[in-house]
Amino acid sequence: MNCPSCRMENTPGAKFCKSCGAPLAAQYKTCKNGHNYDASLDECPYCPKSDVSTTIKTASKTATANQKTAIDKQENINTLPEIEKTIHENKQTPSPPATPSPAPAKDKTVVSNTNAHKDAKETIISKLTGWLVSFDLDPAGKDFKIFEGRTKIGRAESCNIILNEPGISEEHALIYVKDNKILLQDELSLNGTFVNGNKVEERVILKDNDEIKFGDLSFKLKII
């Protein structure tokens, strides 16, 4: 141990310093770094203490991580047979037959009247019954087909025969074909409808080669 007076190192158990003769109190201990401290203490109070708590925490974290890794490996081992079983079952289970596509609907045959309402999607086939022919619109002649059923004549887009000419009302007249009869009526037009020079006041029956006038436009009816 070291002498507390002159710091000379003495043999363990010496009662007096061999250098200065000072008594070496037995109540002191000397640490490995040369510090004298109270013999009742377990370790030198002057030396830095090791961080025991940090060491314990680090060891605990390491143990926990190792335990989790072991558990994950075990779960993977336990799950593998289930995955293999599922793959095997999927191979054995036949796929359901594909649902056949519905047969395409038969094409509808429709006739588009060139003078038909532009917004109409399709027109059911109607029997052609005649023509209205005019030389006022074109010197070479312009004809409009007349079918069974209703044929509206006027300036409006909803009409079957559109006459965008002066003297023609929005809905000027109506031709109605039924039971081999062709009927004509005026739709309260401003400039009137005439057949063979006579103003149409009520519904009239038309005949082949009748002269029909809508406002200032003249037409001849040709019946099949």
Domain coverage including residue 202:
128-223
Is residue 183 in some structural domain? yes
Nearest to 134 by CA among 199, 198, 194, 211: 211
Nearest to 151 by CA among 164, 161, 137, 165: 161
Question: For residue 58, what are its two tokens?
Answer: 């680090």
pLDDT in tens, 37-79: 667 677 777 777 655 445 555 555 665 665 666 555 555 555 5
Q: Per the structure, how many domains does the chain have?
A: 2
* Measured distance CA(65)–CA(188) in Å, rounded: 97
Nearest to 173 by CA among 129, 204, 147, 128: 204
Is residue 31 in some structural domain? yes
* Measured distance CA(215)–CA(166) in Å, rounded: 8
Residue, of 157 and 6, whose pLDDT is higher: 157
Q: For tokens 């080669």, what's the residue?
A: 209
**How much is the average pLDDT of 3-28?**
71
Residue that is last in its domain, among 49, 69, 88: 49
pLDDT in tens, 83-100: 555 555 555 555 556 665
Which amino acid appears at position 76 of this protein? N
Asked if 221 and 132 count as a contact pair (C-beta separation under 8 A), the reply is: yes
Asked if 102 and 186 count as a contact pair (C-beta separation under 8 A), the reply is: no
Q: For tokens 């004509």, what's the residue?
A: 184
For residue 120, what pLDDT band results from cuts at 50, 70 and 90?
A: very low
58: CB partners within 8 A, 6+ apart:
none
Residue 219 bridge partners (DSSP): 212
Is residue 79 in some structural domain? no
pLDDT, the chain, mean: 76
Which amino acid appears at position 29 of this protein? K
For residue 113, what pLDDT band results from cuts at 50, 70 and 90?
A: very low
Is residue 92 in some structural domain? no
CATH of the domain at 154: 2.60.200.20
**How much is the average pLDDT of 193-197?**
98
Is residue 58 in some structural domain? no
3-state class of 195 per DSSP? strand
For residue 222, what pLDDT band results from cuts at 50, 70 and 90?
A: very high
Is residue 86 in some structural domain? no
Is residue 44 in some structural domain? yes
Asked if 155 and 168 count as a contact pair (C-beta separation under 8 A), the reply is: yes
Is residue 85 in some structural domain? no
CA distance to 74, 92, 184, 195, 210, per residue, from 79 (Å):
9, 20, 87, 95, 94
Whole-number pLDDT of residue 164: 94
Residues 45 and 132 in one domain: no
Beta pairing, strands 217-223 & 128-134: antiparallel
Residue that is last in its domain, among 30, 49, 68: 49
Percentage of the chain lying above the pLDDT 70 cut: 58
Beta pairing, strands 217-223 & 211-214: antiparallel
Nearest to 214 by CA among 180, 162, 167: 167
**How much is the average pLDDT of 103-127?**
51
* Measured distance CA(172)–CA(202) in Å, rounded: 14
